[in-house]
Amino acid sequence: MVKTTTAKASTAKKASTTATATVAPITMPNMVYQWAKDGLFFAQLMGFANKHCGGNLSNLIITPNSNINLNNPTQLYPATYKNGAQPNYTKNNGYMLAMFATGCPLVQCNVANALLPYHLNHSAYAKLGKINLLQWHANGNPTSNNLMHIVHGQRVGGHTNHAWRVIGQALNGTTGANGAGKYPCITVSVAPTVK
C-alpha cells in the first residue's frame, strides 16, 4: 500500500506591491514646425489641441527646456537659436521668448482682488507698464506657464498680435529653417490637471 500525503497550503501572506505610476505629459512631438507665418503654426497647434485637450488652448502649458539659461540674462537661449544672434528680451519676439522662460507674471488685480495673468488690459498695467520679466523672475514673483496667459501677456512687449509663429520657432530651436527641430527650447504640453 502506498501512503499519499497532501501538501498543506501555504499560510504565508503574499507581499502586496503598490506601484505609483507616473503618467508622462502629452507633449507636442519633436519635429520641424511652421515658423514663418502665424496662421501656419496656429493650424499645427490647434490640431494638437483638438486631439488632446478638446481644442481649448487654455489647457496647454509652455515649459522651458534645459538649454534655456535663466542665469544668463543676456543670452537666455543657446547660440544655436536664431543662428547665433540674440534677440532683445525687452520687446516683441524677444519679450515673448523671455516669457517662455519665466512664465507670465501673475499680478494683483484691483477689480477681481486676486492674482491674475498680466496683459495690456490688466488693472495694474497703467501703473506697472512693461514688466522686466527677468527681474520679476529673479525676485521670485509668481508666474503662470499657461500658453494663453503667455500669448496675451507677451503683447505688453510690443506685438500687436498673438505671434503664434514664435512658439513654433522656439519649438524648433531657431527662427529659420537652418537647424530647425534639432535644438527645441520649449515644450508645449497638456496641463497635468486636464484629464
Does residue 5 belong to any structural domain of this protein?
Answer: no
Q: Does residue 158 sit within a domain?
A: yes
Tell me: pLDDT of 20 over 60.
Answer: no
In whole angstroms, give the CA distance from residue 189 to residue 30.
12
pLDDT digits (tens, 9 = 90+) for 29-83: 999 999 999 999 999 999 999 999 999 999 999 999 998 988 887 888 887 776 5
Residue 27 domain flag: no
2 in a domain, yes or no? no
- The domain total for the chain is 1
pTM score = 0.85
Residue 138: all three cell numbers together: 529673479
Domain that holds residue 159: 38-190
**pLDDT for residue 1 is more than 50:** no
**161 is a domain residue:** yes
What's the half-sphere exposure (Cβ side, CA atoms, 13 Å) at 94?
13
In a domain, 159, yes or no: yes
Domain annotation covers residue 162: yes
**Residue 130 falls inside a structural domain:** yes
| CA–CA distance, 192 with 195 (Å, rounded to integer) | 8
Assess whether pLDDT exceeds 70 at residue 6.
no
Mean per-residue pLDDT over the chain, rounded: 86
Express each pLDDT in 94-135 by its tens digit: 999 999 999 999 999 988 889 999 999 999 999 999 999 999
- Report the alpha-carbon angle 73-94-79, nearest 5: 60
Give pLDDT, residue 142. Answer: 97
